[in-house]
Structure 1
Amino acid sequence: MRLFKRKNKFEAELVKVPKQEVEKIKLFTLLDLVQNGHLIGLKVKDYDSEDSMYRILEFENFRVHFSEWSEWTIRIDVYNGSESFEVYRSPGLKIDWYSSTVGLAQWEKGSLEVEWSQEGAWCSYILKKIKEEKQKLDLKRVSDKRIKELEEKQKEERLRRDNEEKKKDFNNLFQNKL
């Protein structure tokens, strides 16, 4: 609120401050971490059966559950010892595990981002941890890609040198025959 003085009168003007958007966790990010988290040392427990999949991505003081029966559900629980508390449950989801896609099931309404059912200090803690681990995974991918490119260049260089050497040897062989 701002106060102005105009001709011996005070007037108040309400100033609207834009609400700061709170960053949200995308469900695709959680899927990426549960599928590939083992590459960076994350604990991913696999409880798959013949007709369903169930994975748990475990962090310090919270777990992300991926369960599939007819539809997929993602659940986040905070825990301390043997006590746990559900803070997020997704609507019914269609997840293609092999092409890494996430969508809403046919009749479900909802979001493809985490919408907390219970809010508290854990929201920012979980967001921070998920972002950190996603960043580590992305850096690992970039590093692996660079290493692979370097290995391919080295392989090409070795092949080029071998070909040059063979070319020289065969050139000498045929020049001696002339």
Structure 2
Amino acid sequence: MTDIIEKHLDFVKEQIQIQEKLAEKFGNKEYRKNLHLGSAKKFSDLYDDLLTLQKQLDGSSGSAPLDSPQIELNYEDVEGLPEELLQELSFSESDKLDFKIQKIIDENGGMASLDKIIVALYKETGEIHKRTSMTSKLYRMAQKDAVFSVPGRKGVYSTKPVTTSKEPSEQKREEAIDQEEFYE
């Protein structure tokens, strides 16, 4: 399996180089240059993801198998449990704050801004949370897939992964422009 990934790594690396060269070629056309730089960035991200996957498959990263079950509690697991049972569980005050943040986001339709989270926490707990510490907290939660950053929206988080996609007509128009300018 890692041989397959290795083969694709070479292809992706070539595509990065091609996109960077095309960006240089169209340096005087800002729109075209930015399209190629964007493609180069996407290929670069893909390259990094393939490397990570390869390490996981090799077992060299020491991480859990790809299809490992969720072993940590989330707020849905503990919501509504009696206080006696909650005292028997082993989770910290930090975990409790994670649960509150997840609950706030879900109650807001599955997506909330940092400001909305800070205000809701204040209303619920009476505690004032510093913006920088909340940003760090949300970053750590995102690393654990407890929350997800919303692409293209700074300071907005969701409890489910969010993907952005262009309207089909917009994407087709951009592809047509790409084809025309590529063959100039």
TM-score (norm 2): 0.24
Q: When you count helix as a share of all residues, which structure comes out higher?
A: 2
